[in-house]
Structure 1
């Protein structure tokens, strides 16, 4: 099943403006939408392969509030 993880910039801005902490990630399938601060991506065996993280209270040193972490190799195009 195809899954799309969407980062909602409008919610990020609203959280910043109003001091809120609403989830900014939407995990979408053809069946449902789930809202979260962290999305864990697992392989077919259930092992974690990556995470999408929203952490406005502790951003990365570069200032990013949303990022992806993985210990696997990553290809770029």
Structure 2
């Protein structure tokens, strides 16, 4: 493994988002925590609600965005993702709700009112 220093910072190569561990002859065995402290959030846009909202007045419209995290659903019309995210299209393995396209993130999500 090659480490190098740029200014005050050490650059450490990553493999699968973790530092590579080489087996040493002395000292404790290397280990890394791989679990995340926050739950994965899946953001889904409900196209059925979009279609049904066309003929409704603004106060009667249903929210079209749902955020699923840790078994709970939060609904709204506008969200802000505060960090990295990934857009997933998987028609062969849809979510339990039937969505084939969704956004995944471990970042904080804020609904905008």
TM-score normalised by structure 2 residue count:
0.35
Q: Which has the higher contact order (CA 8 A, sep 6+)?
A: 2
Q: Greater CA radius of gyration, 1 or 2?
A: 2
| Structure showing the higher helix proportion among its residues | 1
TM-score normalised by structure 1 residue count:
0.49
